[in-house]
Structure 1
Amino acid sequence: MTRYLPPPGPSRPLAVAQLTDSIGLGGYLVCSALYFTRIVDLSPTQVGFGLTAGWAVGFLTGVPLGHLADRRGPRGIAILLALCTAAALVLFLFVRDFVPFVLVACLYSTALCGLNAARQALLAGLVPAQERTKVRAVLAAAINAGIAVGAGFGGLALQADTEVAYLAVFAVDAVSLVVSALVLLRLPVVAPTPATAHGEPALAVLRDRPYAVVSALNMVLQLHIPLITLAIPLWIVARTNAPGWTVSLLLVLNTVSVVLFQVRVANKVTNLASALRFMRFAGVTLLAACVVFALSGFGAPAWAAVGVLVVAAGLQAAAEMMQASGAWEISFGLAPEGRHGQYQGFFGSGFTVARMLGPLLVTTVVLGWGTAGWLLLGAVFVTAGAAMGPAVRWAERTRRGRVETQPLLTTTG
């Protein structure tokens, strides 16, 4: 079990906090769309617009809130934003019209994006540099485990399909965030970063072009997220002979794989050199997954289609773990100490963009173009993974003179 636990010390309360609020998040992800359409009586278009608007605002506010965590101390800001996220979920219980829904969705996404940035700054302030990738992997496993438990709870609400059941899910999510905030109180205080010198930009990450390129390439690789959550379920139903329950099978396979193997994969990433190798491997593996997914749409009988889809989903899960492990090492390794809040807020905004625009992009390419779309998507993944090396080297050259805990490219490959 020690393989799946973070090192003793502050990282364990961090893992407990992530596990706690991800249980509530799992229920919210399962139930929110049906709650807003069936209970609040919003149209699917209104729900889609409101959530997209919310993530857009979250994208814009992630860096400033991360900077606030640097300047005021990440523990206090993380606790405050966890409580704000809980408050937004409580407000959802009282939303009965479109405009209030959009406003609360913006509050929820803003608080959540800021919370993620503050947590990364907190992790950077409490965990030695050489252990951050492993700890981040443990947190990812905890998040996936919590989401799986929460999704099961949300499934019960879907089965009941009553307003009380849906409201109970939102209430549990809010309570889980409050509990998470209380857990964070057990952590030591991380000293805030002093104000920047006169003439030096406060939000330095917005002028860091190499880091922006690295973040954009990682965002492209993160399109595998809407791939597994939206494009593949629609592909299975519309283009294959596989039964509908295959969708659940693949989602369970993905979640279980991350819970069991993410830490093992992350342990192999020890510096920027190994991180770049894993990003290249992730791009190639995603290409292979896209090719196998395309094969499932050639009219194979149900049992064969299920087998092909399982192989493809296994490749996708492996690529996801490699991409995540490499991204954690790169995002922390290239960020200046004391500015992890704003830098992690910026790097994490790629995930927000992938959630905001990825579903439309991926579903249009895959469902609209079929096999050609899968091959194009795979080629994009390979290109992004290969381009990560030159981009990281460029970013590293701009940081000459800064004390690094890990040398770049100490091994070949």
Structure 2
Amino acid sequence: MPPRSPVRALAAAQLANSVGDGVYYVTSALYFIRVVGLSPTQVGLALTVAWAVGAMAGVPLGAAADRRGPRGASVLLALGTAAAVLSFLVVRSYAAFLLALVAYAVAQCGLAAARQALLAGVVEPARRTAALARLQSTLNAGLAVGAGIGGLALQHDTRAGYLLVLALDGVGFVVCALILFRLPVVPPVPARAVKEPRLAVLRDRPYVAVTVLNAVLLLRMPLLSLAVPLWIVTHTAAPGWLVSALFVLNTLGVMAFQVRMARGVDGLRAATRTVRRSGAVLLASCVVFAASAGGGLGPWGAVAVLVAASVLQLVGEMQQSAGSWQLSFSLAPAHQVGQYQGFFGTGVPLARTVGPLVLTALLVTWGVPGWLVLGAVFLAAGAAMGPVARRAEAARGVPATALPTAAAP
């Protein structure tokens, strides 16, 4: 990337906050339980409520980014996230914790939508998927570094250690805001002569259908973080350390190959083709995961099968990501990118909220047949994306025009 390119700046901002996110993901649960004094049930309930509210807030906050300008909205929401994280350092009651967690989820969901709108304003359409692939690689790198820092806090298991790393997360979002502020200004979308619904995306049924299908494919997110670890310890002869090894494999794989996987995904047809292939590859990974329960494999045989399944899952994940990024932009009207990205982004908290329950019931309780059912669902969702996306394109009628030209800060 050129030294002063907008993508480089966006990547630097992504790295700043993803290091903090890695710390947060690793340490927050134990901090809330051991330092704040909450029960696991209280933490789980608060997380569900907070991400549900955050998902609903993503659309209006994305629409606000369209109307007010995505750069300013991104900066404010990054600072809002920092304030929410830093408030975790002082909350000691459940009500205060819930309020802070809701503020964190709302700011995070709004920031995701606003940053997508900002990227659309500073990166030409043909390069957006490639740019998002670079950002995803940067995200994984930051998460890996942050998880390592969080691991040090877990090893020492002290109140001071937890406070220090959570403060680092808050500082990371402040740095993210400062970097985003240095990007060019993307003017707000001018008021349109034709009266439109305030949140038009909610009435765009074809786009809603595309978002739902993408949310189904996003069930692969809790697959690696929850279902596969439980599967390994309850249904296979593989050693427990494999859970960590597969996570590292996935993280490094995305860092190394996501940009390459996104090459050529520069239009609607290429995007639907890539998503269709991802459904087939995810089906294959589910079949191989199911085979790891074979009684005659032994520990090392199970390790080999699980690694092969994880590699297939990694390929399907990268294909699904590349295709969905292109779809989310190609099918969004140019003057409503923020709110459309906000709605499309609700698939992530939805998968994280519903996924654990669905995957635990399917895979841990039902076993091998559950893997086959899950694989068939992935295949069907990937195959359905093409017809649904074509319907969304036809409903939109004309290609999205370019967003307003970015101005120098």
TM-score, normalising length: structure 2: 0.96
- Equivalent residue for 2:6, pick from 7, 10, 27: 10
- Equivalent residue for 1:144, pick from 140, 144, 168: 140
**Are 1:315 and 2:312 matched, yes or no?**
yes
- Equivalent residue for 1:59, pick from 44, 55, 59: 55
Number of paired residues?
A: 401
Q: What is the correspondence of 1:221-240 to structure 2 with a 5 Å cutoff?
A: 221-240=217-236
- Could you say which residue in structure 2 is the equivalent of 1:394? 391
- Equivalent residue for 2:370, pick from 368, 373, 379: 373
**Are 1:363 and 2:360 matched, yes or no?**
yes
- Equivalent residue for 1:346, pick from 343, 355, 358: 343
Q: What is the correspondence of 1:191-270 to structure 2 with a 5 Å cutoff?
A: 191-197=187-193, 199-270=195-266
What displacement does 1:329 show? Answer: 0.6
**1:6–1:134 contact (8 Å) kept in structure 2:** no
Q: What is the correspondence of 1:175-190 to structure 2 with a 5 Å cutoff?
A: 175-190=171-186
**1:6–1:138 contact (8 Å) kept in structure 2:** no
CA distance in 1, matches of 2:386, 2:163: 47
CA distance in 1, matches of 2:218, 2:364: 19
Structure 2, unaligned runs of 5 or more? 403-409
- Could you say which residue in structure 2 is the equivalent of 1:275? 271
- Could you say which residue in structure 1 is the equivalent of 2:45? 49
CA 98–234 in structure 1, closer or farther in 2 if over 3 Å, else same: same
- Could you say which residue in structure 2 is the equivalent of 1:292? 288
* Percent pairwise identity: 58
- Could you say which residue in structure 2 is the equivalent of 1:410? none
Q: What is the correspondence of 1:82-101 to structure 2 with a 5 Å cutoff?
A: 82-101=78-97
**1:290–1:377 contact (8 Å) kept in structure 2:** yes
Q: Which amino acid aligns with 1:373?
A: G
**2:334–2:401 contact (8 Å) kept in structure 1:** no
CA distance in 1, matches of 2:3, 2:377: 37
CA distance in 1, matches of 2:204, 2:222: 28
- Could you say which residue in structure 1 is the equivalent of 2:327? 330
CA 105–403 in structure 1, closer or farther in 2 if over 3 Å, else same: closer
CA distance in 1, matches of 2:189, 2:264: 31
Q: Does the residue aligned with 2:345 lie in a helix, a strand or coil?
A: helix
CA distance in 2, matches of 1:61, 1:403: 25
Q: Which amino acid aligns with 1:17?
A: A
**1:285–1:318 contact (8 Å) kept in structure 2:** yes
- Equivalent residue for 1:302, pick from 281, 299, 304: 299
- Equivalent residue for 1:70, pick from 44, 66, 84: 66
- Could you say which residue in structure 1 is the equivalent of 2:169? 173
* TM-superposition CA deviations, 1:64-87 (whole Å, max 9, x none): 000000000000010000000000
What displacement does 1:238 show? Answer: 1.4
CA distance in 1, matches of 2:77, 2:214: 25
- Could you say which residue in structure 2 is the equivalent of 1:408? none
Q: Which amino acid aligns with 2:236?
A: T
CA 403–155 in structure 1, closer or farther in 2 if over 3 Å, else same: closer
Deviates more, 1:197-206 or 1:46-55: 197-206
Deviates more, 1:357-366 or 1:55-64: 357-366
- Equivalent residue for 2:16, pick from 5, 17, 20: 20
Q: Which amino acid aligns with 1:363?
A: T
Q: Which amino acid aligns with 1:331?
A: S
Q: What value does the CA root-mean-square deviation take over the aligned residues?
A: 1.3
* TM-superposition CA deviations, 1:210-244 (whole Å, max 9, x none): 00000000000000000011111111111111111
Structure 1, unaligned runs of 5 or more? 406-413
Runs of 4+ in 1 over 3 A off after TM superposition: 5-8, 196-199, 401-405
Q: Does the residue aligned with 1:195 lie in a helix, a strand or coil?
A: coil
- Equivalent residue for 2:103, pick from 92, 104, 107: 107
Deviates more, 1:162-171 or 1:212-221: 162-171
CA 8–333 in structure 1, closer or farther in 2 if over 3 Å, else same: farther
CA distance in 1, matches of 2:65, 2:286: 39
- Could you say which residue in structure 2 is the equivalent of 1:409? none
* TM-superposition CA deviations, 1:349-388 (whole Å, max 9, x none): 1111111111111112110100011111001000000000
* TM-superposition CA deviations, 1:368-412 (whole Å, max 9, x none): 10001111100100000000011001001112234568xxxxxxx
Q: Which amino acid aligns with 1:340?
A: V
Q: Which amino acid aligns with 1:31?
A: T
CA distance in 2, matches of 1:116, 1:403: 21
CA distance in 2, matches of 1:23, 1:12: 17
